[in-house]
Amino acid sequence: MTEKPSLRAYLKNYAAGSIPREEMLATVAAWDFEEEIWDELVIEPTHQDNTFSVLRGGVLQGRITQDEFEEIMRRRGAYGA
């Protein structure tokens, strides 16, 4: 079984300057996001690494800008054309 790449680690590498902006935008726009698991009975985080919450958290943590987030979502078709 092949383990999925980590979106969190990818965004950290981008923020560190290891990945060019256009490459990051294209890669993350095509990312295989997982459906987030929500369980009201689970207090601890699920530690999922490939969800939209991780992407949104990248903005809050300063790893990507709000404009980059919006461009990724636009490329995914989330904002329409």
Instruction: Report whether pLDDT(3) > 80.
Output: no
Look at the pTM and tell me if it is higher than 0.95. no
CA angle 75, 77, 81 (to 5 degrees): 95
Predicted confidence at residue 36, as pLDDT, reads 84
| Tokens 């990818």, residue located | 10
Using CA atoms, how far residue 62 sits from 37, 47, 67, in Å, is 25, 20, 12
Position 45 confidence tier, pLDDT thresholds 50, 70, 90: low
Instruction: Report whether pLDDT(42) > 70.
Output: no
Predicted confidence at residue 41, as pLDDT, reads 72
Mean pLDDT confidence for 8-36: 95
Average pLDDT across the chain, whole number:
87
